[in-house]
Amino acid sequence: MISIDRSFFLIDKLAQTNSLTQEEYEYLICNQNKRTAEYLFERSRAVRESFYNKDVYVRGLIEFSNYCKNDCFYCGIRRGNVKAQRYRLSDDDILACCEEGYQLGFRTFVLQGGEDNYFTDERLVSIISRIKESFPDCALTLSFGEKDYEQYKAYFDAGADRFLLRHETADSNHYSRLHPKELTLENRMQCLYDLKKIGYQVGTGFMVGSPFQTAGNLAQDMVFLRDFQPHMVGIGPFISHRDTPFHNMQSGTMEQTLFMIGLIRLTLPQALIPATTALGTIHPQGREKGILAGANVIMPNLSPMTVRKKYMLYDNKISTGDESAQCLKNLCESMESIGYRIVVDKGDHVSFK
């Protein structure tokens, strides 16, 4: 079979069975081109629309602390970056962000931050309870890294609904080239299984085009997603940050990221898949193209304007344009221009409705 025919065959197989072998995923990733990508996106859009119609869910992202005890080689808020200007939001700041977001139509808030020990479990439980009491019709998503089972359980019992923790790469050797040795893939996986067991809607994901990543690694990521069955999957291109050890490394591409979104949609037909800020950063239409490749979520920034530029995970992270929650109207218009609509909805995974 010539390569394009085999690619079409494998895309059809994936659409029908939601599963390929690692070798088959790798074949598709290695042999992708414009034609196979378009063929893939036609199918991934159809699958997405069968569960979520033309709806796009929005999440208000609140970046509540950029202190981090970790030193991940790729990340701009790593402990070792002495140039990062650190900040923390107070409980009242966070509540004010939610209030503003609620008025704008958000029904999910995402509390995202570095691994910051200032935020003890007691503080976290208190802020989670306050948010859920003030906004009982909203979902609360957490995203602040690795904790142990009891800690995750305490946040869940306080009312948190969802947790985002990217696995970053499913290959342990690759993992160790992106992280210092105190961080292991084994522990990351343990966290993900704990979160699922507790009852969270769980999100994971990875960077596309991260340093040392191979097509085989991306295929391993797909196999992991297929087997783990997360509710949400966030992926975006790696983008180098000037004050990290990876400052000279090449960034990932939009095309590769879109292709991976298509594969993820066909593997996890019901998943919540955001068109991420990183995708919007490498291309002005990145998020729209992400939706057209099968994504169904957008996460505008609700953080106070005064701190936005400080949450710089990578160079040139967009923070004052249409990706901001305050510009929801522009976002609505841009989604309508491609045939989709932003909805006022918690936007749960279909299995949680």
Binding site residues, ligand 5AD, CB under 6 A: 74-75, 166, 168, 207, 236, 238-239, 241, 278, 313-314
CA distance 213 to 206: 11
- Shortest reach from residue 306's CB to ligand 5AD, in Å: 21
CB-count exposure of residue 310 (10 Å: 0-12, 13-18, 19+):
middle
DSSP class of residue 75?
-
222 vs 313, which CB is nearer to ligand 5AD?
Answer: 313
Q: Which residue is nearest to ligand 5AD (CB)?
A: 314
Tokens of 291: 């939706």
- Shortest reach from residue 51's CB to ligand 5AD, in Å: 25
251 vs 296, which CB is nearer to ligand 5AD?
Answer: 251
CA distance 189 to 220: 14
236 vs 269, which CB is nearer to ligand 5AD?
Answer: 236
- Shortest reach from residue 281's CB to ligand 5AD, in Å: 8
Residues with Cβ within 8 Å of residue 154, at least 6 apart in sequence: 121, 124, 125
76 vs 347, which CB is nearer to ligand 5AD?
Answer: 76
313 vs 328, which CB is nearer to ligand 5AD?
Answer: 313
Residue pair 192/202 in contact by the 8 Å Cβ criterion: yes
- Shortest reach from residue 320's CB to ligand 5AD, in Å: 19
- Shortest reach from residue 313's CB to ligand 5AD, in Å: 4
CA distance 233 to 230: 7
Residue 282: how many other CB atoms lie within 10 Å: 20
101 vs 205, which CB is nearer to ligand 5AD?
Answer: 205
101 vs 236, which CB is nearer to ligand 5AD?
Answer: 236
- Shortest reach from residue 6's CB to ligand 5AD, in Å: 31
- Shortest reach from residue 287's CB to ligand 5AD, in Å: 15
Residue pair 312/73 in contact by the 8 Å Cβ criterion: no
Sequence-ordered alpha helix ranges (H) in 53-90: none
Tokens of 258: 């879109």
The dihedral through the CA atoms of 256, 183, 81, 243 has a sign that is negative
269 vs 274, which CB is nearer to ligand 5AD?
Answer: 274
Decide: helix, strand or coil at residue 231: coil
CA distance 113 to 94: 12
237 vs 269, which CB is nearer to ligand 5AD?
Answer: 237
Cα distances (Å, whole numbers) of residue 344 to 252, 328, 332: 32, 11, 11
CA distance 225 to 236: 15
CA distance 222 to 232: 13
- Shortest reach from residue 49's CB to ligand 5AD, in Å: 28
CA distance 195 to 199: 7
Q: How far is CA 255 from the centre of its chain?
A: 17
- Shortest reach from residue 225's CB to ligand 5AD, in Å: 14
